[in-house]
Amino acid sequence: MVGRENFAATLSARMRAVNRDLALRFQLKSITNALHIARESDMFLISPAYAQAAGGSSTGAIMQMAPLALIFVVFYFFLIRPQQKKAKETKAMLEAVRRGDRVVTGGGIIGTVAKVVNNDEVLIDIADNTRVRVVRSTIVSVLAKTAPAAGAKDNGGDSGANDDAAKDETKDSAKAGG
């Protein structure tokens, strides 16, 4: 056993001495070699970059901007344009709200418009003898539209038939009264 331990200690001492000698001998050369290798590798890494920048820079700039432009176009057609379209439809719907329309508010209250107070507020009947004053912008949808009032001028449809019925009623009331 002693021979084996002695041999291992001698071998490790010899290896350390050889390594120390090699390190001292090649220390100066290894530093210069390392610097030389670093310079060569920098030349190989940097030179393609200079070559790319020198030639075809106008097409390179366009190719770099193309993905950004494509992303903007996709965002416009899938996000911005539909949102603007929906905002226009909502604005038109809110402007067209009038007395008698059945509406749903943002809070989920369903009611009938009793009176349009002003451009910003509406009175809504939600139950018998229960009116709620709401801001017009909180109306989410109109469930049912009402026909225009009888006193309102309407240039389309069968307004002649309505006028004839109104004339008949006034003739009947005039006969009964006089």
Determine, yes or no, domain membership for 36.
yes
- Write down the pTM of the prediction: 0.47
| pLDDT tens for each residue of 117-170 | 998 999 999 999 999 999 999 999 999 888 766 665 544 334 444 444 444 444
CA distance 60 to 48: 15
C-alpha distances in Å from residue 38, one per residue of 31, 32, 151 = 10, 10, 94
Is residue 54 assigned to a domain?
no
Residue 62 lies in a domain: no
Instruction: Determine the residue type at 72.
Output: F
**Residue 81 in domain:** no
Q: How many domains does the chain have?
A: 2
Query: Is 33 among the domain residues?
Result: yes
Residue range of the domain that includes 27: 1-43
pLDDT-based confidence at residue 63 (cuts at 50, 70, 90): confident
Q: Would residue 2 count as lying in a domain?
A: yes
Instruction: Answer whether residue 49 is part of any domain.
Output: no
d(Cα 68, Cα 88) in Å, to the nearest integer?
28
Q: Is 127 helix (H, G, I), strand (E, B) or coil?
A: strand
